[in-house]
Amino acid sequence: MVEAKEAVLMDSKEAVMKVENLRKYFMIRRSFGEFITGKPPRYVKAVDGVSFAIKPKEVFALVGESGCGKTTTGKLIVKLLRPSGGRIYFNGTDVTELSTEEEIEYRKRVQIIFQDPYSSLDPRFRVYDILEEPLLITKVGETKAERRELIYKALEEVRLVPQEEFIGRFPHQLSGGQRQRVAIARALILNPEFLVADEPVSMLDLSIRAEILELMRELKERHGLTYLYITHDLSTARFFCDRIAVMYLGKIVELATSDRLIENPVHPYTKALLIAVPEPDPSQRHVMKEIPIIGEVPSAVNIPPGCRFHPRCPYRFEPCDKEEPELIEVEPDHYVACHLVSKK
């Protein structure tokens, strides 16, 4: 077993995207009484020391319950939020702090697909305007004809053809799948290297989820893209991703290749997430599965001491409520933060 916190970053020299001890704390507004009495401010620790490295052309997943910090991590990477601590590296260059001009250049290479296509597209804009906006902001395409060519090409990439049928429509005139295709086209139109996909299919009908994921896989192969895929759904993560990192209360608790994590989960939280996945075999649906965790997710304001999962863990023992476990390599490329592992 390798007991090294930096072990998950061993591929960082070749990494497209790398984060080291990334943190994001949101200060809670104090009441007048708290301010007068000098009560110190409290913080929501949304991301609390996350480290990972993503290889070129890899699909890396962040998985966990709502509120675990996975979307905040994605927003930190695309510079929609400023980190409270830690470093972000893109192709070996530190991009944690960038000027306005540098951020514009960065956004040409790092883009995001938002979860909700109903709210991520401006309802006042037609499809043409939605796709032209990033070109105008980043000054890509000197003439209207050049921008129009890029817009038509982006729509063809996401299979919204013939383009003339879509460029004049408003978002409310599109189906959910068509809206998400427009959102993908908007992310692709600047020809980025790295995409953050924040639950890109969770708002879509089941019938078209696989279709959108297959489209994203084709685009990855065609353009050599690298993805950070954010989801709560382990079934789509296994289908789409090369590696999976499981997050809980702002920390990564397990990280492995997709098949290894699904077939041999080690952390109790990962096991609980897998048990919660619906059973696809109709003959097995009558079997009741007992999820082996108790209680609710603690508040990110008052994180439990020691292992932050210990209040819900059925296997907790003495050091769990006092010492925070480190990520340990239990087998090649499989890391777990759990005292049960370190005890062995």
**Structural domains in the chain plus CATH codes:** 8-253 (3.40.50.300)
CA angle at 302 for the pair 297 and 306, rounded to the nearest 5°: 80
pLDDT for position 77: 97
User: Under a CB-based contact definition with an 8 Å cutoff, are residues 148 and 179 in contact?
Assistant: no
The stretch 37-49 carries a mean pLDDT of 86
Q: What is the pLDDT of residues 192-226, one digit of tens each?
A: 999 999 999 888 888 888 899 999 999 999 999 99
The stretch 267-275 carries a mean pLDDT of 89
**Measured over all CA atoms, what is the biggest interatomic distance in the chain, rounded to whole angstroms?**
68
- Banded model confidence at residue 341, pLDDT cuts 50, 70, 90: confident
pLDDT for position 233: 86
| Integer CA distances (angstroms), 204 to 115, 193, 301, in order | 10, 25, 32
SS (H, E, C) the chain: CECCHHHHHCCHHHCCEEEEEEEEEEECCCCHHHHHCCCCCCEEEEEEEEEEEECCCCEEEEECCCCCCHHHHHHHHCCCCCCCEEEEEECCEECCCCCHHHHHHHHHHEEEECCCCCCCCCCCCCHHHHHHHHHHHHCCCCCHHHHHHHHHHHHHHCCCCCHHHCCCCCHHHCCHHHHHHHHHHHHHCCCCCEEEEECCCCCCCHHHHHHHHHHHHHHHHHHCCEEEEEECCHHHHHHHCCEEEEEECCEEEEEEEHHHHHHCCCCHHHHHHHHCCCCCCHHHCCCCCCCCCCCCCCCCCCCCCCCCCHHHCCCCCHHHHCCCCCCEEEECCEEECCHHHHHC
Name the one residue in this structure whose structure tokens are 């789509």.
Answer: 236
- Banded model confidence at residue 2, pLDDT cuts 50, 70, 90: very low
Least confident of 27-36, 91-100, 216-225: 27-36
The stretch 308-330 carries a mean pLDDT of 89
The stretch 314-329 carries a mean pLDDT of 89
Task: Tell me how far apart the alpha carbons of residues 234 and 270 are, in angstroms, rounded to a whole number.
Answer: 10
Task: Tell me how far apart the alpha carbons of residues 197 and 343 are, in angstroms, rounded to a whole number.
Answer: 37
Residue 297 confidence (pLDDT) above 90 = no
Please write down the long-range contacts of 87-91, taking CB distance under 8 Å and 24 or more positions apart. 87/19, 87/20, 87/21, 87/22, 88/17, 88/18, 88/19, 88/22, 89/12, 89/15, 89/17, 89/18, 89/19, 89/20, 90/16, 90/17, 90/18, 90/194, 91/16, 91/193
Percent of the chain with pLDDT over 70: 90
pLDDT for position 14: 82
Residue 25 or 1, more confident: 25
Q: What is the pLDDT of residues 129-163, one digit of tens each?
A: 999 999 999 999 889 999 999 999 999 999 999 99
pLDDT for position 317: 86
Put the strands of the sheet holding 85-90 in their side by side order: 43-54, 17-27, 85-90, 93-94
The stretch 263-282 carries a mean pLDDT of 80
Q: What is the pLDDT of residues 111-131, one digit of tens each?
A: 999 988 888 899 999 999 999
Task: Tell me how far apart the alpha carbons of residues 217 and 123 are, in angstroms, rounded to a whole number.
Answer: 28
| CA of residue 238 relative to chain centroid, distance | 14
pLDDT for position 207: 81
- Banded model confidence at residue 4, pLDDT cuts 50, 70, 90: very low
- Banded model confidence at residue 3, pLDDT cuts 50, 70, 90: very low
Residue 239 confidence (pLDDT) above 50 = yes
pLDDT for position 342: 72
Provide the whole-model pTM: 0.90
Q: What is the pLDDT of residues 55-85, one digit of tens each?
A: 999 999 999 988 899 999 999 999 999 999 9
pLDDT for position 240: 92
pLDDT for position 8: 57
Q: To the nearest whole number, what is the mean pLDDT of the chain?
A: 88
